Amino acid sequence: MKRIVMLLLSGLFIILAAYSIWQVLGHDSARLKVSGQPHYVNGRDISGVEVQTLEGHPQLLKSELTGDINIINFWASWCEPCNKEMPELVHYNDIKPNHIKLIGLNVQDDQKNRQAFLKKYDVDYPVVVGSEQLLKQYKIYNIPTTIFVDKEGRVLTTYMGELNQEKLEKLIEQVEEKL
């Protein structure tokens, strides 16, 4: 009797181990579940936010909001996930549809580190600089954070964390359903 119980338990263990391995190795990226996240800034109008150009001149964010969908990515040079996602964002900017605009919003950096980062990744889309006050006002505590904004300046959704092209495309699909 003891032997039968041991065989049954061993068999159950092998089945569970095999199922776990199948789940890990059988991950299908097409089933990737990505969605915007609830956030304080969602639904708010940010067109009147004051940012700075890379040269240090004040500018209203609305002057950059020229796409039907504007993707504003908050980043910093010291942020490891920002370093990982930046090549993906630069590539996405090259292949994105015309109705979408990508905007970088640098925070918590000095000019030297910001410029070195932009040069390192050959960033060729608009980048503006945001203040600590901006982060506090809109409760953006995690870097990277990406917000999806319509051309009037209304935040449609927010994604906190590292992005890649696949996640971007899924989030844009969700945003387009809202428009």
Q: What is the largest CA-CA distance in the chain?
A: 82
Which tokens go with 114?
Answer: 């910001």
Residue with tokens 């904004």: 149
What distance in Å separates the CA atoms of residue 175 and residue 35, rounded to the nearest whole number?
A: 10
Domains of the chain: residue spans and CATH: 31-178 (3.40.30.10)
What distance in Å separates the CA atoms of residue 157 and residue 42, rounded to the nearest whole number?
A: 6
What distance in Å separates the CA atoms of residue 47 and residue 101, rounded to the nearest whole number?
A: 15
Instruction: List Cβ neighbours of 110 (8 Å cut-off, separation of 6 or more).
Output: none
- In order along its 179 residues, the chain shows pLDDT tens digits of 777 877 777 766 677 666 666 665 555 444 556 788 889 999 999 999 999 999 999 999 999 999 999 999 999 999 999 999 999 999 999 999 999 999 999 999 999 999 999 999 999 999 999 999 999 999 999 999 999 999 999 999 999 999 999 999 999 999 998 88
pTM of the model: 0.82
Alpha-carbon dihedral 171, 123, 58, 65, rounded to 10 degrees: -30
Beta bridge partners of 148: 71, 157
Residue with tokens 């990406």: 146
Residue with tokens 């181990």: 17
